[in-house]
Structure 1
Amino acid sequence: MRLIVSADTHLGSPIRSAALRNPALGNRLQQASRDAFAALVDLAIAEEVTALVLAGDIFDSDYPDLRARAFLIAQLSRAAEAGVETVLIRGNHDALLDHRAYGDLGPGIHLLHREAPSVEIGGALFHGLSFDSSHVSRSFLPDYPAPVAGRLNIGLMHTSLDGAAGHDPYAPCAETALMAHGYDLWCLGHIHAPFERRRADTLALMPGIPQPRHFGERSGGTVCLVHLGPQTASRAPEVEWRPVAPLGFAQVDVDLTACASQQDLLHSLRSAMKQAQVPGRDTAVRLEITTARHGAALLTELAQEVLEDLSGLYLDKVKLHRPALATDAINDDLMRLMQAEVAEPGFRQAALEQLEELRDALPPSVTADLAPETLDALLQEALEEVALALHAEAAT
């Protein structure tokens, strides 16, 4: 038996953060999530797999986006017509979405939940539980059916396995308990970075997000082709990682400290960004620029101008860094005072309160960069901007 395993497609994600910085990139990401899903269905059909497994967060929210639902049904129906059935569960994002509100999903498409936690396909048993609320703080594992002896048992679970760092503890499940439950394969969702865990003949897969939506998800972009049963070298499942993302994210480092003219700037930016081009795939570029005197606004405009002639590239963001320069004593003293100030508990508390106000005022989709744990990075970035301005004034 062979399966395609995916999760966290987040169809209908508004991509507001990227769109605010670069509308063209926002539009491309919207389409890319659909293209990636169509690509994984194409792969399932081409590989003639038994089933397509989707481990939650198929949609980005419980809002009944009829276009996104119609797209999902069309793609999964296309798979079913080719003999590929689909097994899916709801995750924390689409927990409240009633997939049956507008009729059944269709023949060969199986939504697992507490009233119907198991389905048999191709002689294997698939077991899964869907989220029925957006926040679940306990493990679902005790409620999963026991494995059936002598059969392949495959589990679908949406979980922050072991309370993964950087992720909210949604249905946290201990890895040791998961691997000891008796299933042959676990198909996991929720963590957008791919990984696999093995213990004896059991494999647990987190396929990651098939189409990254921002720079922090750049390790995604894949799905898993899993082989189970007699055709494997042992009883343990075997896995191949297959790329499906039509757009990736890349960091490009550029040193502009030696540039004396705008022509030098344009040439350096163009040379650096050309290295990020990947044949057959689009790339969103994050520029990490070292400069002593150029501002972010100017460099963003120049980078956008350069990208007009470079196919397949989009500008994600420009981040500035100052070189190690000799500065006058006044500027050095001022920087030391500012660094001491931002380290004060009172200053940090006030800054955290301002972050919270901004998060309350903005849509959730654009507040990832304003989480409390990002405070140190934001303060450091602000200090570097001030340092750049001071250096620029000293150099003129």
Structure 2
Amino acid sequence: MKFIHLADAHLDSPFRGLSFLPSKAFKDIYQASDKSFKRIVDLALKEQVDLVLIAGDTFDSNHPSPRSQLFFAEQIKRLNDAEIQVVMIFGNHDHMRQEDLLVTPSPFFKLLGNGEQVETVTLKAKSGFNYDVTGFSYLNNHILEDKLPEFPAKSANYAFGIMHAQEKTAEKSQNVYAPFDLQELKDLNYDYFALGHIHLRQNLSMNPLINYPGNIQGRHINELGAKGCLLGEIDENTKQTQTEFYETSPIIWQANEITFTKIVDKSELRKKLTDLGSIEQTTYFSLRLKGSQYLTDEEIELVSDSDFWQSLSADLPFNSQVVDVRFESSAELELNNSDRQAFDQAAQEIFTEDEFKKAIQDWAKKDALAVELAENKNFMDEVKNLTRFKLAKKLKGLTDETETD
């Protein structure tokens, strides 16, 4: 028996922050999740799988657009017409009612665990191999309780579990997505547990087999590398399972570090910025410029301009793009001891979560995206880093001006 495990398609994801891209590139990334999903369906048809497991967050919201609903329904129909069983759950993003889904009813499609009730369905592969699938769907965007105690004991059939959830953490405020204990999940001893929610592909256990496939298309620079699905094959005699990752994302995100150890002119600067290594498919780059204290203010202004990024991108193959540039400076290391002590003390006082939130209160009132960014640790870290860089560079400049022969 063969199966595919995918999660976190996030159809209709807005891909915020890329509106500066040329219209064709922006259209490509808007359609990237659709293309990746279609490639997964193509793979399922090619491999003649028996089962496709969709572990939540198929849509980016619980009110998906008609376009994405119709696209999804069309792809499910392709699978069902080939008599490929699809078992799907809703996640925290697409917490919906079953009746709001536009998929055509079919004996080969099952939305599992409607209304957050743990449900088991028993199905049969084309070979006659019996298997169970147990799981639940979200009806609200948060599930605070651990759902594992509601999962039944494994039967004599091959047992799939499916869940959109994350491991319990010490931070209680984060335990809002059906938090589970990994050892308790292992103790269920299901043959394969298909997880969703975490966008990083990872294996939590080999025996029993517990996997996150990651999302099917990276949506920003913090979701690096190849994305896609897992193709599994079960030995029907031993019930041993092997999985293999298949890349389906049409666009990948890559972070490159570029180090400056001396002052460079604009020609050398451009050459360094376009030396991005081998590019074998459409790639969106984030450039981290280390040693940025060697750049002039004019060069920093140039590199910060998205029009300059587009001029760099014109030389890249496969319509690849530079979409993000970040600066790192060691200038603060060159401050004298008293200045460094003052700098560090100011940083401790200013770079606190409370102070950060106070600073962006007015901005947040004007822009809904700001509220989301304010809760994003990566964004907060980047603001801190850029502030440190600019302040240290300014202090370095003041030091240079006051130096005497």
Q: Look up the equivalent residue of 1:278 and give its one-letter code.
A: I
Secondary structure in 2 matching 1:17: coil
Decide which of 295, 300, 303 is 1:299's aligned counterpart.
303
The whole-number CA distance in structure 1 between the counterparts of 2:13 and 2:167 is 23
Secondary structure in 1 matching 2:48: coil
The answer as to whether partners of 1:3 and 1:225 remain within 8 angstroms in 2 is yes
Measured after TM superposition, the shift of residue 86 of structure 1 is: 1.1
Structure 1 position 45 matched with structure 2 position 45: yes
Decide which of 167, 175, 178 is 1:161's aligned counterpart.
167
Q: Look up the equivalent residue of 1:299 and give its one-letter code.
A: V
Q: Deviations over 1:249-268 (max 9, x none)?
A: 11112234535422121222
Q: Look up the match of 2:267.
A: 263
Secondary structure in 2 matching 1:381: helix
Q: Look up the match of 2:246.
A: 242
Over 3 Å counting, the alpha-carbon distance change for 1:346 and 1:253 in structure 2 is closer
The whole-number CA distance in structure 1 between the counterparts of 2:10 and 2:49 is 23
Measured after TM superposition, the shift of residue 18 of structure 1 is: 3.6
The answer as to whether partners of 2:62 and 2:94 remain within 8 angstroms in 1 is yes
The whole-number CA distance in structure 2 between the counterparts of 1:385 and 1:395 is 15
The answer as to whether partners of 1:25 and 1:315 remain within 8 angstroms in 2 is no
Measured after TM superposition, the shift of residue 237 of structure 1 is: 1.7
Q: Look up the match of 1:194.
A: 201
Over 3 Å counting, the alpha-carbon distance change for 1:183 and 1:115 in structure 2 is closer
Measured after TM superposition, the shift of residue 371 of structure 1 is: 3.0
Matched residue pairs, number?
385
Over 3 Å counting, the alpha-carbon distance change for 1:357 and 1:86 in structure 2 is farther
Q: Look up the match of 1:354.
A: 359
Over 3 Å counting, the alpha-carbon distance change for 1:125 and 1:310 in structure 2 is same
The answer as to whether partners of 1:194 and 1:219 remain within 8 angstroms in 2 is no
Secondary structure in 2 matching 1:344: helix
Over 3 Å counting, the alpha-carbon distance change for 1:44 and 1:156 in structure 2 is same
Q: Look up the match of 2:4.
A: 4
Q: Deviations over 1:343-370 (max 9, x none)?
A: 1279663223334665565335983465
Structure 1 position 339 matched with structure 2 position 340: no
Normalising by structure 2, we get a TM-score of 0.84
Gaps of 5+ in 2: none
| 172-181 vs 118-127, greater mean Cα deviation | 118-127
The whole-number CA distance in structure 1 between the counterparts of 2:56 and 2:2 is 20
The answer as to whether partners of 2:257 and 2:289 remain within 8 angstroms in 1 is yes
Decide which of 183, 205, 211 is 1:205's aligned counterpart.
211
Once the two structures are superposed, the pairs formed by residues 1-396 of structure 1 within 5 Å of their partners are: 1-19=1-19, 26-95=26-95, 97-101=96-100, 103-107=102-106, 108-113=108-113, 114=117, 117-122=120-125, 123-149=130-156, 151-163=157-169, 169-198=176-205, 200=207, 202-219=208-225, 221-230=227-236, 234-271=238-275, 273=276, 275=277, 277-279=278-280, 281-290=281-290, 291-292=292-293, 293-295=295-297, 296-301=300-305, 302-312=308-318, 313-323=320-330, 334=339, 336-344=341-349, 349-355=354-360, 358-359=363-364, 361-364=366-369, 367-368=372-373, 370-371=375-376, 375=380, 377-391=382-396
The whole-number CA distance in structure 1 between the counterparts of 2:30 and 2:286 is 19
The answer as to whether partners of 1:99 and 1:105 remain within 8 angstroms in 2 is no
The whole-number CA distance in structure 2 between the counterparts of 1:115 and 1:346 is 44
The answer as to whether partners of 2:7 and 2:215 remain within 8 angstroms in 1 is yes
The whole-number CA distance in structure 1 between the counterparts of 2:118 and 2:7 is 22
Q: Look up the equivalent residue of 1:101 and give its one-letter code.
A: D
Gaps of 5+ in 1: none
The answer as to whether partners of 1:256 and 1:268 remain within 8 angstroms in 2 is no
The whole-number CA distance in structure 2 between the counterparts of 1:288 and 1:30 is 25
Q: Look up the equivalent residue of 2:221 and give its one-letter code.
A: F
Q: Deviations over 1:216-267 (max 9, x none)?
A: 1215613111112336xx5332111111111111111223453542212122
| 205-214 vs 14-23, greater mean Cα deviation | 14-23
Over 3 Å counting, the alpha-carbon distance change for 1:357 and 1:236 in structure 2 is farther
The answer as to whether partners of 1:15 and 1:365 remain within 8 angstroms in 2 is no
Secondary structure in 2 matching 1:93: coil
The whole-number CA distance in structure 2 between the counterparts of 1:2 and 1:366 is 43
